Amino acid sequence: MNQAPRILSIAGSDSSGGAGIQADIKTVTLLGGYAMTAITAITAQNTKGVTAVETLSAAMVAAQIDACISDIGVDAIKIGMLGSAEIAHMVADRLAGVGVPVIFDPVMVSTAGAVLADADTVAAFERLMAIACLTTPNVDELAALGGDEALMAKGIGYIAKGGDAPGETVIDRLVLPGHEPQIWTAPRIETRHTHGTGCTLSSAIATFLGQGAPLAEAIEDARDFVRAALLAAPGFGEGHGPMGHHAVR
């Protein structure tokens, strides 16, 4: 039997379907994985922004994680929006020693500019970065986490995403303790339809790792998937529109 890798996304729900667990489910499924979710928060949002957020209790998030792992099992885990410091600490408790690759996307601000993590939650990210095999900050998130020097000093493995940086070329840097940085470059795709790029990249990396790929290969393939989805964006919405996951084959 050809078993699909079991990927658990611990993240928030995006009512418009472009980011969050909705983007994760699409990504995992299209890449041949079996998607499971532990929803941390419910958001009312669209391409123009987030209009309401309700965070679930840490106990409910824990119950979802336990239900999935205890029965179906898990081959890789992606962590996205957490919603509260209490949830962040609970997730760190639950995943300590889990024994599978963990990808941590330190979601702090949505594509449309809504703040999705307060200072206490960001402080709790330290534990999750220590557990994860890879943290995936964008330009602003990397700065909020203390920058390259802080993460390297703590022995954190991370990919510094360059999609938010200016310039015609996107530069992504993989930094792993004890290794020379690995750099990927690509021409920038000029589009406003970038909603969910970070969610998609992190869940794609998790899926490829769950299939047994080495980390650098998983990142490279995930970047290719994100670029293909950007090029296939359906053009929905008036703001930062969703990507075209459905069209990538």
- Give the pLDDT score at 113: 62
Average confidence (pLDDT) over 71-82: 97
Residues 6 or more apart whose Cβ sits within 8 Å of residue 228: 248
pTM (2 decimals)?
A: 0.95
Average confidence (pLDDT) over 83-87: 92
Catalytic residues: 161, 194, 196-199
Give residue-wise pLDDT tens across range 37-65: 999 999 999 999 999 999 999 999 999 99
User: In which band, very low, low, confident or very high, does the pLDDT at 111 lie, cut at 50, 70 and 90?
Assistant: low
Give residue-wise pLDDT tens across range 167-185: 899 999 999 999 999 999 9
Average confidence (pLDDT) over 214-223: 97
- Give the pLDDT score at 122: 78
β-bridge mates for residue 53, sequence order? 43
At residue 148, what is the residue type? Answer: D
Average confidence (pLDDT) over 179-202: 95
Check pLDDT > 60 for residue 200: yes
- Give the pLDDT score at 121: 79
Written in H, E and C, the secondary structure of the chain is CCCCCEEEEEEEEECCCCCHHHHHHHHHHHCCCEEEEEEEEEEEEECCEEEEEEECCHHHHHHHHHHHHHHCCCCEEEECCCCCHHHHHHHHHHHCCCCCCEEECCCCECCCCCECCCHHHHHHHHHHHHHCCEECCCHHHHHHCCHHHHHHHCCCCEEECCCCCCCCEEEEEEECCCCCCEEEEEECCCCCCCECHHHHHHHHHHHHHHCCCCHHHHHHHHHHHHHHHHHCCCCCCCCCCECCHHHCC
- Give the pLDDT score at 2: 66
- Give the pLDDT score at 120: 82
